[in-house]
Structure 1
Amino acid sequence: MSRALQAGCVSIGGRGVLIFGPSGVGKSSLALAMIDRGAMLVGDDGVMIEVRAGQVFAAPHPNIIGKLEVRNLGLLEFPVSASVPVALAVQLDREAPRFIEAAEALEIDGVVLPQVRLWPDSPVLALRAELALSRYGLTIS
């Protein structure tokens, strides 16, 4: 059974990256920057989550499918990915540690996902998120 989750999500190479953070921190801007680098939108500020075979899947929310809020421009239409297995959670956090030894753990509906906190005010935030996916993201089979 799926449920709504307040988070953004993009798909990179068939692996989902959930994006969390407080209002106004830059979740949609990160998604937009990642899309510019080749990711595909799953959802902006709302996705549907479902656990299947011990894996978390994110899918577009039916009420906002294909829409991404671009600050100062409004809600714009983007191509959207279908359901994607989630490999990493990114928490945008101005108190994020400078160095980490390992990803933190985030539990969603009984499934543990790796989570990395990233400082949101970086001009290379999308690159950092992609590197976190490469280094700490789950391998999807």
Structure 2
Amino acid sequence: MEQVHATTVDVDGDGVMLMGPSASGKSDLGLRLIDSGARLVADDRTDLSLSNGLVRASAPTEIAGRMEVRGIGIVTVPVMSDSPVALVVELVTPGAVERLPEPQTMEVLGVELPLVRLAPFEASAPAKVRAALKNRNPL
């Protein structure tokens, strides 16, 4: 098992791991995805394990089902106990987002996962995550 600094949500059975430094927008984008039907797997820290060739994400026990919402505090949100990671989203500044990027991957526990770089505070960021899931290339 490995623990990473990431917020992970489940979007229709697909785990989306949101990665970036502190205050980069992981919880904010995760909350907006949850508001549109996703379920929280883990906020800020995600435990990763390998099962039958799939990278599975889950929450450390002490934070399961809880999410930090800046300006509100710790809240309880709809939760999944674990989810197979299907997409990694690296949170970057708007200027670092490529207009037409080549497909990229990130190796996680020896598995190549699709990777996209998005600006988390753009209004369209949740829709872009869903579009990336629907249009990801099989690896």
TM superposition score normalised by structure 1: 0.91
Query: What is the distance in 2 between the residues matched to 1:43 and 1:96?
Result: 25
Q: Which residue number corresponds to residue 85 of structure 1?
A: 84
Which runs of no fewer than 5 residues in structure 2 stay unpaired?
none
Distance 1:31 1:112, change over 3 A: same
Alpha-carbon RMSD across the aligned residues, in angstroms, is 1.5
The DSSP-based 3-state class of the residue aligned with 1:136 is: coil
Query: What is the distance in 2 between the residues matched to 1:87 and 1:26?
Result: 20
Q: Which residue number corresponds to residue 96 of structure 1?
A: 97
Q: Which residue number corresponds to residue 75 of structure 1?
A: 74
- Cα shift at 1:107: 0.6
- Cα shift at 1:132: 0.9
Query: What is the distance in 1 between the residues matched to 2:115 and 2:48?
Result: 16
Distance 1:38 1:137, change over 3 A: farther
Contact 1:10 1:16 in 2 (8 A): yes
Report percent identity of matched pairs.
37
One-letter amino acid matched to 1:114 = P
Q: Which residue number corresponds to residue 107 of structure 1?
A: 107
Query: What is the distance in 1 between the residues matched to 2:73 and 2:137?
Result: 31
Which runs of no fewer than 5 residues in structure 1 stay unpaired?
none
Q: Which residue number corresponds to residue 126 of structure 1?
A: 126
Q: Which residue number corresponds to residue 38 of structure 1?
A: 37
Q: Which residue number corresponds to residue 5 of structure 1?
A: 4
Contact 2:29 2:121 in 1 (8 A): no
Query: What is the distance in 2 between the residues matched to 1:63 and 1:5?
Result: 15
Query: What is the distance in 1 between the residues matched to 2:107 and 2:115?
Result: 9
- Cα shift at 1:22: 1.6
Moved over 6 A (4+): none
What is the aligned residue count? 137
Distance 1:27 1:66, change over 3 A: same
1:57 aligns with 2:46: no
- Cα shift at 1:101: 3.4
